């Protein structure tokens, strides 16, 4: 019995043993990453030259091709675009002007919501104010909005800010992150998700029947910041039927107050948009650093390349894109081939629901049955009985995927995503990185980005902990998400850290440990034999 217990203890110790980091290679990574960084050059090209990158738009295709060619220039192999789809209609806007013509003349700050039509020239009219937030609200306005410029929502009260909109993790906050957090209530429930979808469909149908000239919404932000996302969807039959605009809060409030006071308010609106139906597929950018004696095994890194159109997609997620590109540039520039193949993936369709990474995982690694119609509008992580996995040949060959997608901030640690066996491994890797501010490994989960496509099928997928900086308050999905909000020192640090993690994973003796699959995930079909070389 004592021998059995000793054997179990030995196996447990071996299973959760920490790695010994490669300090020589970490030093080389620092030398290249801090003394010869190209991360800001890449950022200028992507944000200033390409610009915003809504999936399905011409700019997104340009970004795919530009990043493919840039990765080839860095010396990576097999750089290519991998299609997935169908995604749906592409969309872009060329013009959006809104003017108040009475009782005063003023140029107003506004942008169109994605996938809405244009106005077919300048339209003029007097606004009416409504408040449509639920299905029940819709009936109050039936028959009253045809041919009108509609202001949707009340004027918002604005309070002064008590502190600067800028923050980094304190050591106490990082320490708190290390404590395990029991799974809590999701941000919204299945029922709330179903209610949102029902309202969206009912409002779309109502507007198609009512035919107002334009819908104008305000934004909860202030200081001229406004969030610009989509209305309706890119799918056939789900496009928003009328021009929809988001206006800065301060200027919307003026219009709302004047209208509520019964003043004669005149507006001119001109929105020009274009739909693209020639190619309804979307594309991920893929490239590799080939491995050596373990080249059939893969370590992946990446972030999403797509963005919304209000700014130039700098912190969401141009920062993650250029850091991942810089990480592979650093590793290639050092000139030492890894044991495992390192593959970078720059995803499209993240903003519409992790679509590009989800399609890639389903194509290469593992898939589930199509959800029934009642479940299709429910987020994938909330679906009931999603069905067993069908395992693909490459499933056995992926060691880990590392993702970056939380703004320009420095990397301060990593989420182990409930994978307790990787925590001591990550802790060993970051020990030499603590002087760069990387101190924290937490077993907690984090959501909202592309590592979930991997984690959702039982593969090791990880997101880094990043300093907030001004992400939530200022840049996330806003008109201020531009190159100038990027922080050079942060991006250089993040590229060095990401390159370090990828190198360590690519060269450790074993692949990264995995979480056990849930009973409901057990494969519907036997795993196919592992391919010697991953297919594309």
Q: What is the pLDDT of residue 15?
A: 47
CB 525 within 8 A of CB 357: no
CA–CA–CA angle 472, 474, 480 (5° rounding): 130
Alpha-carbon span 480 to 226, nearest angstrom: 8
The per-residue pLDDT for 535 is: 41
Measure the CA–CA gap between 448 and 72, rounded to whole angstroms.
30
Across 65-79, average pLDDT:
98
- DSSP reduced 3-state for 283: strand
CB 217 within 8 A of CB 249: no
The closest of 79, 36, 101 to 258, measured between CA atoms, is 101
Query: What residue ranges define each of the domains in the chain, with the CATH number in brackets?
Result: 20-87+281-521 (3.40.630.10), 91-158+165-276 (3.50.30.30)
Nearest 5 degrees, angle CA 351-CA 298-CA 420?
A: 75
Nearest residue to 286 via CA among 76, 102, 440, 127: 76
Residue 7 confidence (pLDDT) above 50: no
Backbone angles phi, psi at 514, to 5 degrees: -115, 155
The three-state secondary structure class of 22 is coil
Residue 6 has pLDDT above 50, yes or no: no
* pLDDT over 80 at 514, yes or no: yes
Q: What letter does residue 399 receive in the DSSP assignment?
A: E
Contacts of 46 (CB under 8 A, 6+ apart): 63, 66, 67, 318, 321, 322
What b/e string do you get for 481-512 counting C-beta neighbours within 10 Å, with b at 16 or more? bbbebbbeebbbbbbbbbbbbbbbbbbbeebb
Cα–Cα dist 366/528, whole Å: 11
Supply the pLDDT for residue 524: 61
Judged against a pLDDT cut of 80, whether residue 534 lies above it is answered with: no
Distance in angstroms (rounded) separating the CA atoms of residues 151 and 132: 10
Q: Average the pLDDT over 102-128 and give the result.
A: 97
Q: What confidence tens digit (pLDDT) does each residue in 377-396 have?
A: 777 767 777 889 999 999 99
**pTM for this model (two decimals):** 0.92
């Amino acid at each position: 019995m004592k021998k059995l217990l000793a054997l179990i203890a030995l196996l447990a110790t071996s299973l959760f043993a920490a790695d010994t980091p490669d300090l020589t290679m970490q030093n080389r990574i620092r030398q290249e990453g801090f003394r010869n960084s190209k991360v800001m050059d890449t950022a200028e090209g992507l944000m200033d030259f390409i610009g915003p990158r809504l999936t399905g738009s011409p700019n997104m295709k340009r970004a795919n091709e530009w990043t493919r060619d840039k990765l080839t220039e860095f010396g990576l192999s097999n750089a290519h675009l991998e299609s997935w789809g169908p995604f749906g209609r592409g969309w872009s806007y060329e013009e959006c002007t809104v003017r108040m013509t009475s009782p005063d003349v003023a140029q107003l700050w506004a942008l169109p919501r994605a996938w809405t039509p244009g106005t077919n020239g300048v339209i003029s009219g007097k606004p009416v104010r409504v408040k449509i937030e639920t299905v029940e609200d819709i009936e109050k306005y039936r028959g009253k909005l045809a041919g009108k410029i509609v202001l949707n929502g009340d004027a918002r009260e604005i309070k002064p800010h008590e502190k600067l909109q800028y923050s980094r993790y304190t050591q106490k906050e990082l320490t708190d992150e290390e404590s395990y957090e029991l799974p809590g209530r999701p941000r919204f429930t299945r029922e709330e998700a179903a209610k949102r979808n029902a309202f969206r469909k009912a409002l779309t149908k109502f507007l198609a029947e009512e035919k107002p000239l334009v819908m104008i919404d305000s934004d909860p932000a202030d200081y001229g910041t406004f969030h610009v996302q989509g209305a309706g969807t890119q799918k056939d039959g789900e496009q928003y039927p009328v021009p929809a605009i988001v206006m800065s809060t301060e200027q919307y409030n003026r219009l709302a107050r004047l209208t509520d006071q019964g003043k004669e308010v005149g507006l001119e609106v001109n929105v020009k948009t274009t739909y693209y139906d020639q190619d309804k597929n979307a594309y991920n950018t893929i490239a590799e650093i080939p491995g050596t004696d373990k080249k059939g095994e893969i370590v992946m890194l990446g972030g999403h390349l797509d963005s919304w159109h209000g700014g130039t997609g700098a912190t969401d997620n141009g920062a993650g894109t250029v850091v991942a590109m810089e990480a592979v540039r650093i590793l290639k520039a050092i000139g030492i081939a890894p044991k495992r193949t390192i593959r970078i993936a720059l995803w499209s369709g993240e903003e519409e629901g992790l679509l590009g990474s989800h399609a890639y995982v389903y194509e290469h690694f593992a898939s589930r049955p199509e959800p029934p119609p009642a479940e299709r509008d429910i987020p994938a992580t909330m679906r009931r009985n999603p069905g067993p996995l069908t395992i693909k040949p490459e499933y056995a060959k992926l060691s880990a995927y590392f993702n970056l997608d939380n703004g320009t901030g420095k990397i301060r640690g990593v989420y182990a995503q409930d994978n307790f066996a990787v925590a001591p491994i990550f802790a060993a890797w970051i020990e030499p990185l603590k002087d760069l501010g990387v101190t924290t490994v937490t077993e907690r989960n984090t959501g909202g980005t592309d590592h979930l496509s991997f984690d959702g099928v039982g593969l090791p997928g990880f997101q880094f902990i990043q300093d907030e900086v001004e992400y939530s308050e200022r840049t996330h999905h806003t008109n201020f998400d531009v190159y100038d909000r990027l922080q050079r020192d942060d991006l250089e640090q993040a590229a060095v850290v990401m390159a370090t993690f990828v190198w360590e994973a690519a060269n450790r003796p074993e692949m990264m440990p995995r979480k056990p699959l849930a009973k409901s995930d057990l494969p519907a079909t036997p795993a196919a034999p592992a391919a010697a070389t991953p297919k594309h």
